[in-house]
Amino acid sequence: MSLTLEAALTFGVGQKPKFAILRFPGSNCDQDAFYVIRDVVGCPVEYVWHQDTGLAGFDVILIPGGFSYGDYLRTGAVARFAPIMDAVRLHADRGGLVMGICNGFQILCEAGMLPGALVRNVGCKFVCRHVRLRVENNDTPFTSTYRADELLQIPIAHGEGCYVCDADTERELNARKRVLFRYVDEYGMPASEGNPNGSQGNIAGIVNATFNIMGMMPHPERASEKILGSADGRGIFESMAAVAMDRLK
């Protein structure tokens, strides 16, 4: 009989996957992510400093939000050259899971690990509020606990979260179902009213061509328990943990 992730973790069945939370000067969502992995999902987790050069022993890598290196030049532009990023790339090349949230998404795009870029919000204003997301593809290591077209409420907090890419890239993302989340309105439609930053195609989160690197601007770690106003983001971390646990069998 197979067990759910929650049951397996509760009863200690199998080896638990180990998460790494990267820390850059200016990271400010690292502790939130750490708490979710340790106390909500129930997996071992450690911080990894930006000057470290190895990620041996980790199954999932999280790049949290914040303002890495003060967002000098542009968001993520300096962090892409951090020593730890070579290890992140090697981990991903071996098929390991990598997720970037907000500034982490920006870093992954700057590093060329995800296509496109994040630029200033339309209106050039910092936006901090809950938004509605629609799950575009639930057949991935990051979304398997959701239903297709499920609507989520997850907060955003960014000034440079407008996703842009060239037309060929957008066609590829759509054709291969690499857009995992879109901003939507109250009716679940990707209309301008539901797009908080002007992102092209209402794109809120994407995955790479091999479906093991994901970036998203909204903050699921801030929507992991009902006391926070929404627990809709918890499924992303549970999806990654379930996939990583299955690989350890």
129-164 residue pLDDT tens: 999 999 999 999 999 999 999 999 999 999 999 999
pTM of the model: 0.93
* pLDDT reported for residue 6: 56
* pLDDT reported for residue 24: 97
* pLDDT reported for residue 1: 29
* pLDDT reported for residue 249: 80
Q: What is the pLDDT of residues 178-200, one digit of tens each?
A: 999 999 999 999 999 999 999 99
Handedness of CA 192, 194, 195, 200 (dihedral sign): negative
Active site residue ranges: 102, 219, 221
**Which residue ranges of the chain lie beneath pLDDT 70?**
1-14
Other C-beta atoms within 10 Å of 132: how many? 21
* pLDDT reported for residue 128: 97
Residues 200 and 192: their CA atoms lie apart, in Å, by 10
Residues 220 and 101: their CA atoms lie apart, in Å, by 8
* pLDDT reported for residue 73: 86
Q: What is the CATH number of the domain that holds 196?
A: 3.40.50.880
Residue 75 tokens, joined = 């968001």
Number of domains in the chain: 1
Partners of 99 in the beta sheet? Answer: 62, 214
Residues whose CB falls within 8 Å of the CB of residue 41, separated by 6 or more in sequence, listed in order: 9, 234, 237, 238, 241
Residue 83 near residue 53 (C-beta atoms within 8 A): yes
Q: What domain range is 174 assigned to?
A: 5-247
Closest CA to 116 of 178, 188, 189: 178
